[in-house]
A and B are shown apart, each in its own frame.
Chain A
Amino acid sequence: MDRRAAIATAVTIALLGLGIVAFGRSPLAGAITALPLIAAVWLWAIWGGLSPYARRRATNVVVLTLSFGATGLGVLVLALILGDLIWNGLSALNLDFFAQSTPASGSVGGGMLNAIYGSAVMTGVATLVGSPVGILAGTFLAEYGRGNPIAPVIRFINDILLSAPSIIVGLFIYQVMVLRMGHFSAWAGSAALAILVVPVVVRTTEDMLNLVPNSLREAAVALGTPKWKVIVSVTYRAAMQGMLTGVMLAVARIAGETAPLLFTAVNNQFWSTDMNSWMANLPVVIFQFALSPDANWQRLAWGGALLVTVTILALNIAARLLASWRSFSR
């Protein structure tokens, strides 16, 4: 212990001296920079002096404290983000916010009605198009996939699409729809979002169908029910809540997506219900307003951000509650 302490003291003095000399322009900074190294040396000195048992216990306590701290940090960040959103966004959420369209730059007041409408419509269309595709594809994987060599490939590709960058989907839809139609449109925006819905729904549908006990299917088959009818009236019914959860999670996923809309639906300052033309939507409006120097626009951006976040988190929580409703789904 004494020898270690002596070495540590010597190293401390040497490092401090080196730090102060080497950092000519700010000696204090040099000293501060040397601190981590000095701390490490002292840690070594104290650590080495402990008995093996004490050292193991100490390691355990240190690591578990760090683990506790990491969890606290995660929860703290969530609380900070939500707190800042409420702090900055709540004041923007007045009646005008829901009743008026986006204002011109430099004007006062205004709201997000056109953007809220656009987001709702495009999310709705994307969900209506994407969910059936996802449910049927998921049905194939769960009910017909066994022994089919293509099923693992589809599962693999689907999982990759699930995490693939959404801006790539925007590029793709730009190429196949916007260029072909000659203009940006809400249809293109909906199509981009629909592509993002599919993998989420496929994944949850397959998982949920796999949770349905086989004895249910067997009982139906034993009665002479055709397979399609077994799936539609027995399996789907048993897995209904889980599948609905998947659709809700998909809605939550696309409701805040910005990147795929940037060059498909773009934005529209005015009220528009024409699906064949540019359409305002909350994420892109938030993006443009937040990055502008206009204080009124920034205020609206915070309000929009709060609205989007609250909606999505509520959907997430509702989906979770729904999923844990029945015992077999978890």
Chain B
Amino acid sequence: MAEIALNRSAEAPRSSGFDKVFQATTWFFAILILVILAAIIVSLVLSAIPAIRRFGPGFLTSAAWNPVKADFGALPAIYGTLITSFIAMLVGVPVAFGIALFITELCPRWLRRPIGTLIELLAGIPSIIYGIWGLFVFAPFFQSTVEPWMIDTLGNVPLVGVLFEGPPLGIGAFTAGLILAIMVLPFIASVMRDVFETVPAVLKESAYGIGATTWEVMWNIVLPTTRVGVIGGIMLGLGRALGETMAVTFVIGNAHQIHASVLQPGTTISATLANEFAEAVDGTYRSSLFLLGLILFVITFIVLAIAKTLLFRMQQRAGT
């Protein structure tokens, strides 16, 4: 009896023929997940081959984007993807940490669920809604209030000034980064909250017992214990930010340029795909877009794989 309790995959006493059929069916659909992933990779690689043949590794470092001459390079899109995600992390991670801290340590018990739900509803809002809101509400507000101020002050500081130069357009990498920050906020906050809650109460209570403040408990006990999981959560958010499409497409400006200033328009890999794929009929053009998609997939795959590995290690340590 104890053996059955421990091992669910043990054969039931009277195993019928249908049992094997049922198990094989579930196995088939589980394997289908691997097949889907493999098929996605294979189809992206196959479609990207003409562009790879034509441009070689130079595709990654070329800033050209000329559909007429069929000359393409990925650098502006890759740069835009990285810089917007970087801004999103810079803004989103501290705020997410603050929210997780509030929910786990400060919030009265009865308020935890409602606040947690409200923050998670942010994750439910579709990308396109962030896009339309970003374009019609946030960008004009940003253009008329924050950006002129940033250009007048930060834009004049030696060294970092070039990052904040140019006319206030409202749309650009910085706006896109801020919208992305809002979008990844709930994902990072909920992972952080979950891992913070795995810290044994005894650990925290011992620290409180010797007179530590809430912040000291957080910084010296909870964070070091959950570091792996916290980084996992951040990487999960980063993976989301890198691949986010519609919201960015609305507010990035869609220009294949690399500006030092984050207030100027740019593009990202996903925004390029969303904007140009439908009208790309020429073979090299289309193949280049597939190659961009492949690059995006590889980057996000690596980031998400790291995130999952870290979170898995965290889970095992927490013994769940």
Contacts and interface: CB of A to CB of B under 8 A. Distances in A.
Contact of B124 (A32, A133, A217, A313): A313
B98 A259 contact: no
Given A144-B23, A160-B301, A164-B243, A33 B216 contact: no
Interface in B238-277: 239-240, 242-246, 250, 270, 273-274, 277
A316 B135 CA distance: 25
A62 to B, nearest CB: 8
A174 B13 CA distance: 48
Interface stretch (A2-10, A96-104, A134-142): A134-142
Interface of A: 22-23, 25-26, 29-30, 32-33, 56-57, 59-60, 63-64, 66-71, 73-75, 77-78, 80-81, 84-85, 88, 132-134, 136-137, 139-141, 143-148, 150-151, 153-154, 156-161, 163-172, 174-176, 195, 198-199, 202, 214, 217-218, 221-222, 224-228, 230-231, 252, 255-259, 262-263, 266, 283, 286-287, 290-291, 298, 301-302, 305, 308-309, 312-313, 316-317, 320
A166 B118 CA distance: 24
A23 B187 CA distance: 42
A259 B274 contact: yes
Contacts of A32: 152-153
Determine chain A's interface SS by DSSP, over half rule: helix
29 contacts: A26-B156, A33-B156, A68-B106, A71-B107, A78-B125, A81-B130, A137-B26, A144-B26, A148-B9, A157-B34, A160-B305, A164-B300, A165-B244, A169-B40, A171-B289, A175-B43, A175-B44, A221-B13, A226-B14, A228-B23, A258-B126, A259-B270, A283-B128, A287-B246, A309-B129, A316-B120, A316-B121, A316-B124, A317-B121
A150 B35 CA distance: 13
B158 interface: yes
A214 B3 CA distance: 12
Given A227-B19, A290-B136, A312-B126, A60 B33 contact: no
Contacts of B33: 137, 154, 157-158, 161, 198-199, 202
A165 B106 contact: no
B293 interface: yes
B25 A136 contact: yes
B290 interface: yes
B92 to A, nearest CB: 10
A151 B133 CA distance: 41
Given A66-B98, A224-B13, A195 B215 contact: no
Contacts of A66: 98
Contacts of B97: 70
A315 to B, nearest CB: 8
Enumerate the 4 nearest inter-chain pairs by beta-carbon distance, A residue then B residue, closest first.
A256-B126, A165-B243, A70-B98, A140-B26
Contacts, number: 310
Given A33-B156, A164-B301, A227-B12, 4 more contacts: A22-B158, A74-B186, A154-B33, A171-B290
B73 interface: no
Interface in B84-135: 94-99, 101-103, 105-107, 115, 117-122, 124-133, 135
B14 A224 contact: yes
Interface string B4-18: 110111011111101
B5 A74 contact: no
B115 A175 contact: no
Contacts of B129: 81, 85, 256, 305, 308-309
Given A22-B158, A64-B214, A305-B128, A78 B118 contact: yes
Tier of interface size on chain B: 35 or more
Nearest to B107: A71
A157 B19 CA distance: 27
B17 to A, nearest CB: 9
Contact of B106 (A64, A80, A202, A226): A64
Pick from A22, A140, A146, A154 the residue with the most CB of B within 10 Å.
Answer: A140
A37 to B, nearest CB: 10
B293 to A, nearest CB: 5
Contacts of A74: 95, 99, 118-119, 122, 185-186, 189
Given A75-B115, A171-B293, A230-B12, A313 B22 contact: no
Contacts of B273: 167, 170-171, 259
Nearest to A153: B34
Contact of A258 (B13, B43, B99, B246): B246
- B186, B214, B246 interface centre (most CB from chain A within 10 Å): B246
A259 B128 CA distance: 9
Contacts of B182: 77
